[in-house]
Amino acid sequence: ISNLSDKDILVLRLDLTDRSSHEAATNSVLKHFGKIDVLVNNGGRSQRSLFVDTNLEVFSAIMELNYLGTISLTKHVLNHMIQRRKGKIVTVSSVMGIMGAPLASGYCASKHALQIDVLVNNGGRSQRSLFVDTNLEVFSAIMELNYLGTISLTKHVLNHMIQRRKGKIVTVSSVMGIMGAPLASGYCASKHALQGFFNSLRTELTDYPDISVINICPGPVQSKIIQNVFTEKLDKSIENSGDQSHKMPTERCVRLTLVSTANDLKEAWISDHPYLAVCYLWQYAPTWAWWLMNRMGKRRIQNFKSGVDADASYSRKKK
């Protein structure tokens, strides 16, 4: 250090919460030194207050400084390192990023935010249209959203989990990923694709026993999924979504999903009858499953064409 000259030292004032200044600071360093070999992320503030006593603005400020400010600066420096294909990014997190502690809930959250413990893939749209009436663009859009979008996000998150050698990938598939049903041929195809993909991915991760791949297969659940389904044309919405009250309550589906995730179940079927019974038939007595689904399928189409929910009339719950 005693041999350093003025040209070897550059002092900059930098406010991590002022994200607009991060690019300028990075450029100043590059202009002075010509390169950045090491970035040490060491900015942040801790916390000493109970959660129940603390304003939400404090949690927002902690996250803005400790997490968003850190990744914003990292983003600008990383672009340079990628061009050089070398560099070191050192982030001073905290033991609070591993454990929790009283009086520091917001601080712990900001440090935990530098890692991803659980990815829940729950994006997608269902379908209500017969195959013969449906444009091919609809099938392409379903697969792009439900399948390709899901595995694209998973790919980026998985790289991080592999580096940490732990994590949970939870994918909300569907009982339609196990069986087939009319009015949802494209949706079923996308869910079968997810099932095949994540069952295959699990076998690729045997060297990482602490990375769990969990498939959740719900049946009909009360939600807005029917109001947002694909129909036979991309620009056409469903005219009548029908009554949804006969389906499994959302709260119960969420609870069972969390229980399945906590217990690292590889696959969980979450449904009321008759769909749950059909899942078991499909697994152990497929001939009977085909017979039952053919009968249920006719009723499903009749329901849809008459303007009620496709699954209404054979639900075990009474309106």
Catalytic residues: 187
- The length of the chain in residues reads 319
- Give the whole-angstrom CA distance, residue 8 versus residue 57: 40
Q: Which SS3 state, helix, strand or coil, does residue 24 take?
A: helix
Catalogue the E-assigned strands of the chain: 38-41, 88-91, 118-121, 167-172, 211-218, 267-270
CB distance 108 to 50 below 8 Å: no
Phi, psi (degrees; rounded to nearest 5) at 183:
75, 0
For residue 246, the one-letter residue type is: H
**The residue type at 292:** L
Residues 6+ apart with CB under 8 A from 32: 7, 10
Centroid of chain to Cα 313: 33
Q: E strands, 145-206, where?
A: 167-172
